[in-house]
């Protein structure tokens, strides 16, 4: 009975009152000295027991109602098509300017505002997802742990166009992202979506840690690169003779590094909100794997049901009461009235 709960369990102490009807009948007492005078009648016995039972039932139901009986909220596991996703979002201050690298004005939204809008839609379209949100800038930060509460996911995504910080430490951000998958996220449906408008050199030690993490927890990796006008792109190769170093081409080298992890990996280069939207739509289509997620069915009060049932029992009792015939007031009494004298009121 773990599914039933009581708001005021102490009210259940009134339950013994339900025994009262077993001792007392709601019908008037008759002063026949003994019921031996009446022949045994199974029908009457059943009727009597029913009347007592109905009284007990009515009292018990009202007590249950008063104690606030309810069905507890239930979590049901549902299977859906979705994924366990870690959104790893760049919160460096460059995200607060537009794709044209200007301060956002009425006409053009900032990269972070576009990301916020499109990711909010993305999460809203995918009810079967569990999502964790992490941010990185100078340091990686956990925003919300893996959760299937879409309210929480929305609130976490809503904060990404708040003012950001200075740097873009992608490496440590990724290593935080790998750590956010919990035991509940099934291994076949894990994905990391990295949203950033730049890259940075990843420290050797962090590179090693990331390779370890990638070997341990295989995930699918998406990099949504919001390319600012004039900035270097993922696929920009240096001209012959120019040095090809991560310091000069961090985006190109991050792409190469992510490829080298041996994970299923896609990079999207978006030059404007439209392309971000297309990329997110594509991720949406790719990440449709069987997942289990929990849905909470909220608690349901049962007191109204208790009261209706009690009312039903009382209605039957009232019917019995109206059908009551006394030995001295009906013609039925005429045959049997040898033992009875006109009765006084019993109460």
Contacting residue, 4, 46, 124, 139, with another protein by CB under 8 A: 139
Query: Are 256 and 298 within 8 A, CB to CB?
Result: no
Identify which of residues 283 and 306 has a Cβ nearer to another protein in the complex: 306
Identify which of residues 83 and 234 has a Cβ nearer to another protein in the complex: 83
Give me the least distance between CB of 280 and another protein, in Å please: 20
Find the binding residues for another protein in span 13-72 (CB under 8 A): 14, 17, 20-21, 23-29, 55, 58-59, 62-63, 65-66
Query: Are 85 and 129 within 8 A, CB to CB?
Result: yes
Contacting residue, 13, 237, 311, 332, with another protein by CB under 8 A: 311
Identify which of residues 144 and 189 has a Cβ nearer to another protein in the complex: 144
Judged by CB under 8 A, does residue 118 bind another protein? no
Judged by CB under 8 A, does residue 322 bind another protein? yes
Torsion over CA: 277, 278, 281, 286 (sign): negative
Judged by CB under 8 A, does residue 77 bind another protein? no
Identify which of residues 131 and 226 has a Cβ nearer to another protein in the complex: 131
Q: Which residue has the tokens 């990711």?
A: 119
Identify which of residues 17 and 215 has a Cβ nearer to another protein in the complex: 17
Per the structure block, which two tokens stand in for 125? 């379209």
Identify which of residues 256 and 318 has a Cβ nearer to another protein in the complex: 318
Find the binding residues for another protein in span 147-176 (CB under 8 A): 147, 149, 151-152, 154-156, 158-159, 162-167
Which of the ranges 100-108, 121-129, 141-149, 285-293 carries the binding residues for another protein, by CB under 8 A?
141-149
Find the binding residues for another protein in span 263-302 (CB under 8 A): 301
Cβ neighbour number for residue 108 with a 10 Å cutoff: 16
Give me the least distance between CB of 303 and another protein, in Å please: 6
Judged by CB under 8 A, does residue 202 bind another protein? no
CA distances from 252 to 66, 237, 246, 338 (A): 69, 7, 8, 113
Using CB under 8 A as the binding criterion, the count of chain residues that bind another protein stands at: 60
Contacting residue, 88, 118, 143, 199, with another protein by CB under 8 A: 143
- Cα separation, 123 vs 84, in Å, equals 12
Identify which of residues 125 and 149 has a Cβ nearer to another protein in the complex: 149
Binding-site ranges for another protein (CB under 8 A) = 14, 17, 20-21, 23-29, 55, 58-59, 62-63, 65-66, 91, 133, 135, 137-145, 147, 149, 151-152, 154-156, 158-159, 162-167, 301, 303-304, 307-308, 310-311, 314-315, 317-318, 321-322, 346-347
């Amino acid at each position: 009975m773990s599914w039933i709960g009581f708001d005021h369990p102490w009210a259940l102490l009134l339950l013994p009152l339900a025994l009262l009807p077993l001792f007392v009948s709601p019908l008037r007492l008759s002063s026949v000295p003994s019921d031996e005078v009446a022949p045994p009648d199974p029908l009457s016995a059943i009727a009597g027991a029913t009347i007592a039972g109905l009284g007990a039932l009515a009292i018990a139901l009202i007590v249950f109602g008063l104690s606030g009986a309810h069905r507890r909220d239930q979590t049901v596991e549902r299977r859906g098509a979705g994924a366990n996703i870690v959104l790893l979002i760049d919160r460096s201050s460059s995200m607060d300017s537009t794709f044209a690298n200007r301060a956002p004005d009425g006409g053009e939204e900032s990269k972070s505002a576009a990301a916020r809008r499109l990711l909010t839609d993305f999460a809203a379209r995918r009810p079967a997802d569990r999502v964790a949100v992490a941010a990185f800038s100078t340091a990686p930060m956990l925003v919300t742990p893996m959760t299937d509460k879409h309210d929480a996911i929305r609130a976490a995504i809503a904060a990404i166009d708040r003012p950001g910080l200075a740097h873009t430490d992608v490496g440590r951000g990724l290593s935080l992202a790998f750590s956010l998958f919990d035991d509940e996220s099934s291994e076949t449906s894990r994905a990391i979506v990295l949203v950033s408008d730049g890259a940075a050199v990843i420290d050797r030690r962090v590179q090693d840690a990331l390779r370890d993490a990638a070997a341990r927890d295989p995930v699918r990796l998406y990099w949504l690169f919001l390319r600012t006008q004039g900035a270097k792109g993922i696929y920009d190769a240096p001209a012959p003779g120019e040095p090809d170093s991560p310091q000069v081409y961090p985006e190109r080298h991050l792409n190469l590094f992510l490829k080298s992890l041996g994970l299923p990996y896609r990079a999207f280069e978006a030059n404007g909100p439209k392309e971000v939207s297309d990329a997110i739509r594509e991720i949406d289509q790719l990440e449709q794997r069987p997942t289990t997620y929990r849905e909470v069915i909220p608690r349901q009060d049962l007191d109204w049901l208790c009261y209706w049932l009690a009312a039903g029992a009382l209605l039957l009792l009232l019917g019995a009461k109206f059908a009551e015939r006394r030995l001295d007031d009906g013609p039925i009494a005429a045959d049997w009235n040898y033992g009875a004298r006109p009765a006084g009121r019993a109460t």
